[in-house]
Amino acid sequence: MPALYTHTDFDGVVSAVLVTSGDDVSEVRFAEPDDIQQKRIDIPKGSIIADLPFHHNAGKWFDHHASSAGAKAPDGKFDPHAKSAGRVILDYYENPYLNKKFGDLVDACDKIDSASFTEDDIRSPSGYYLLSFALDADDTASDAMNFRRWLIEAIKKNSLEQLLAMPEVKTRVEKVMARRERMAAELERFTTVHGRVCVIDGRELPAEFAGGGTKFLSYLLHPQCIASIKIRKGRLEGNTDFSMGENIFYPERGKLDLGAIARRHGGGGHRAAAGFRVAEALADSILEAVVAEINAFPTG
C-alpha cells in the first residue's frame, strides 16, 4: 500500500481524511511545500500526494494551487479553480457515501482555505474554523504530527460538536485563543504600513506568538491595505519565511497575483495567498521590493 504525503494545515488534514477513506494507505506523512520543492524528503515511487506540489514519484496527486499548473501524475486530479484540495479529492472519488459523510467538512474546508470569511468569523471563530486552530498549538514537532494523525481518525468517527469537546482538541484551541487575545493587543507594535501594504515583522516576536490565530486581524486594523506581508525567522536556520495575503475584506479583492511574486522567489501558492523563503541576509531588500511591487498593482 502507498504512503500518503499531505500538508500540515487544515486542508491537508481534510485531504487525509478523504484519501484514507477512499483508498488503502499504509501511513500518513506530513510535509511542507518547500520540503518537496527543495527535495529535502524522499518520496517513494507510487506514493499518494495531496495538497502539496507535484513530485515525479507520485502515483496519485491531488492539488489546487495555481503554482502547480502543468504537472501531471499517472492518477489523481488537479483543479486550480477548486477552493481547497479537499474539494478536488471529494470530486475525484465521486462517492455518494463520502459526499454525505464529509460534505459539510469539505464546505468548511473550502471556506477556510480560500479565506472566504466575514468580519464576524474573524472576531468570533466558530465551527470547523475554530477546530482548525487546534493545528496551531505550539506542540513539539512530533506531538504536532501525532495530533494530526489522531485528528484524521477522530474526524471520521465524531461530529463537529464532539470534536470540539474532546480534551485533545479543547486544550489546544483554548491555548491558541488565549495567545490570540494577547497577540491582538501586541500586533500593532510589530506592524508597519507601507502605502497599501501592512507588514508584520515577526522576526522579533515572542516565541509564544509563533502560531496562528491572528492571521486576518491586520485587515480589521488596517482596512485600507490591499495586502499583508508577514515575515519571520525561517524553519531552516539562516532563512526568513515570507507569507503574503490579499486583504479578504477589500472591496476589489481578486486583482492581485501574489502567487506570481512568490514563484519568482522560489515559492508558490495562490493568487490571493502565497509564500516563499529567502536567505536571511537578503530579507530586507526583498521585502522592500515586494512591497513596491504590490503597491504598484492597479486596483481601480
The tens digit of pLDDT for each residue in 249-267 reads: 988 777 889 999 999 998 8
Section 143-160 average pLDDT = 97
Cell numbers given for 261: 511574486
Fold type of domain 186-295: Diaminopimelate Epimerase; Chain A, domain 1 (3.10.310)
pLDDT single digits (tens) 15-68: 999 999 999 999 999 999 888 888 889 999 999 999 999 999 999 999 999 888
Predicted model pTM: 0.84
Say what the pLDDT of residue 77 is.
97
- Listed by start position, the domains of the chain span 4-164, 186-295
Strands (E), 142-238: 191-194, 197-201, 227-233
Q: Which of 67-81, 149-163, 213-227 has the highest mean pLDDT?
A: 149-163
For the record, the C-alpha cell of 63 comes out as: 492539488
Q: In what order do the strands lie in the sheet with 58-63?
A: 28-31, 4-7, 47-50, 58-63, 75-78
- Predicted confidence (pLDDT) at residue 205 exceeds the cutoff of 90: no
Q: How much of the chain exceeds pLDDT 70, in percent?
A: 96
Highest mean pLDDT among 36-45, 150-159, 181-190 belongs to 150-159
- More confident call, 251 vs 96: 96
Q: Rg of the chain's alpha carbons, rounded to an integer?
A: 19
**Lowest mean pLDDT: which of 92-106, 178-192, 197-211?**
197-211
Query: Residue type for 51, please?
Result: D
DSSP summary character for residue 23: S
